[in-house]
C-alpha cells in the first residue's frame, strides 16, 4: 500500500537512531529572484554515526600524516545545489549548534528564477542515496515547485507534488487483510508511543517570505506578527509520533489524513492541504 508523503517521511526518519531539526526558508523578491536558507541540526546519535563513517574513510587514505577530521556536513551543503535546480548558487555556509546542543549547518543559496526551483523537505543528501534507484523512486518527501508572475501585485503559486493514491483494489480487501492491517496500525501506534521520547526535538519546517506585505492569499497559516510570511509546513514530529491516535491516522491511506491530524490540535502543528496550490499576491 502506498502512503502519503508525510507518512513516508515519518516512516523513514523513525528508523534512524536519532533526530533532525530542519528549517527551509524561501525568501522571494518582486522580480522572482531570491534566496533559500537551510538550517539543519542533527542529534548526537546521527552526528556520531556520520563522524565515524567520515573518520573511517579518512583513515583509509595512503598517508603517514594524521587524517584531517572530515567535514560531515559539506556533502549535504553542496548536494542541495543540484536538488534545488538550475541557476542556484551557494552564497555562504557555516556550522551551527542549536539550543539542544545538536550540531549542524546553515547554508544560504541564491536563485535567479523561482520558476526553475524545486524544494524538497526532509531529504538531506546522504552518501550513496543516488546509487539506489529503487529507494529514489519510492522517495515521497514533500516537494514543491513554483510559478511566479511579476507585476503589481506580483503573484507566487506554491505547487505541492501530487500525493500517491491507494493502489487499485485496496477497498476490496477481505476480512483477513483488514484485520492484519488493523493489527499493523495498532503496532505502529504502540511503537510511536515508545519512540516519542527518543525522537524529542525532531522538527521539519518550510516557510516562505516575500519582499512586501501579502495583499491576498489562500494560505491557512499566515503570520500575524510578520505580514509577509506564510508557513507552508511546520511538523513537530516528536509530538506526532508520540500520539497513538495520530499514528493510526498516518497509517491509513485516507487522502484526508493530514486534515484530520491538524484538527487534533497537536501543539505547533501547521500543515497546508497537500492537494492545494497556495497563491500569494504581494
Q: Write out pLDDT tens, residues 177-189.
A: 444 445 445 554 4
- DSSP state string for 97-132: E-TT--EEEEEEEEES-GGG-EEETT----TTGGG-
Which among 97, 111, 124 has a CA at the least distance from the CA of 22? 124
H or E stretch including 41?
Answer: strand 34-42
The structural domain count of the chain equals 1
Name the burial class of residue 216, with classes exposed (0-12), middle (13-18) and buried (19+) by CB atoms within 10 angstroms of its CB.
exposed
Q: What is the mean pLDDT of each run of 10 residues along the chain (282 residues)?
A: 48 56 96 97 84 57 48 90 96 95 96 97 53 44 92 96 59 48 50 53 92 97 96 86 72 66 82 91 98
**Domain ranges, residue 31:** 5-57+67-281
Residue 26 lies in a domain: yes
Residue 187 lies in a domain: yes
Cell numbers 477497498 label which residue? 171
What is the Cα Rg of the chain in Å?
Answer: 20
* Residue 274, preceding peptide bond in cis (omega within 30° of 0): no
pLDDT at 41: 94
For the stretch 128-150, pLDDT in tens is 334 443 434 444 578 999 999 99
Cβ pair 269, 239 in contact under 8 A: yes
Q: Assess if residue 31 is contained within a domain.
A: yes
36 lies in a domain? yes
Cell digits of residue 97 = 549548534
The share of the chain scoring above pLDDT 90, in percent, equals 44
Rounded-to-integer distance, Cα 21 and Cα 124, Å? 11
Residue 133 lies in a domain: yes
Backbone angles phi, psi at 243, to 5 degrees: -105, 110
Q: Which residue stretches of the chain are H helix? A: 5-14, 44-59, 74-84, 133-138, 175-195, 237-241, 244-250, 257-262
Q: Do 158 and 208 form a contact (C-beta atoms < 8 A)? A: yes
17 located within any domain: yes
Residue 205, phi then psi, degrees to nearest 5: -145, 145
| Of 201, 275, 266, the residue nearest 240 (C-alpha) | 266
Please enumerate in sequence order all residues whose Cβ is within 8 A of that of 81, keeping only pairs 6 or more positions apart, or say none.
88, 89, 90, 109
Is 210 domain-assigned?
yes
Report yes or no on 62 lying in a domain.
no
Amino acid at each position: 500500500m502506498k502512503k502519503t508523503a508525510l507518512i513516508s517521511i515519518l516512516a523513514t526518519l523513525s528508523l534512524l537512531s536519532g533526530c533532525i531539526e530542519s528549517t527551509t526558508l524561501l525568501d522571494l523578491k518582486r522580480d522572482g529572484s531570491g534566496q533559500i536558507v537551510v538550517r539543519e541540526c542533527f542529534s548526537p546519535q546521527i552526528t556520531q554515526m556520520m563522524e565515524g563513517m567520515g573518520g573511517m574513510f579518512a583513515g583509509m587514505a595512503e598517508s603517514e600524516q594524521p587524517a584531517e577530521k572530515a567535514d560531515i556536513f559539506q556533502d549535504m551543503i553542496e548536494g542541495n545545489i543540484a536538488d534545488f535546480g538550475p541557476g542556484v548558487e551557494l552564497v555562504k555556509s557555516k556550522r551551527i549548534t542549536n539550543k539542544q546542543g545538536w550540531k549542524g549547518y546553515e547554508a544560504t543559496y541564491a536563485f535567479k528564477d523561482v520558476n526553475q526551483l524545486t524544494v524538497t523537505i526532509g531529504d538531506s543528501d546522504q552518501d550513496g542515496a543516488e546509487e539506489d534507484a529503487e529507494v529514489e523512486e519510492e522517495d515521497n518527501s514533500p516537494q514543491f515547485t513554483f510559478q511566479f508572475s511579476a507585476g503589481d501585485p506580483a503573484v507566487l503559486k506554491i505547487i505541492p507534488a501530487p500525493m500517491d493514491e491507494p493502489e487499485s483494489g485496496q477497498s476490496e480487501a477481505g476480512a483477513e487483510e483488514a484485520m492484519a492491517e488493523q493489527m499493523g496500525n495498532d503496532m505502529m501506534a504502540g511503537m510511536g508511543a515508545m519512540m516519542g521520547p527518543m525522537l524529542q526535538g525532531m522538527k521539519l519546517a518550510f516557510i516562505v517570505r516575500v519582499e512586501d506585505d501579502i495583499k491576498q492569499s489562500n494560505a491557512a497559516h499566515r503570520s500575524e506578527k510578520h505580514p509577509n510570511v506564510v508557513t507552508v509546513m511546520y511538523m513537530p514530529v516528536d509530538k506526532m509520533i508520540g500520539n497513538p491516535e495520530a499514528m493510526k491516522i498516518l497509517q491509513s491511506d485516507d487522502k484526508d489524513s493530514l486534515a484530520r491530524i491538524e484538527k487534533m490540535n497537536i501543539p505547533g502543528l501547521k500543515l497546508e492541504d497537500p492537494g492545494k496550490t497556495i497563491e500569494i499576491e504581494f
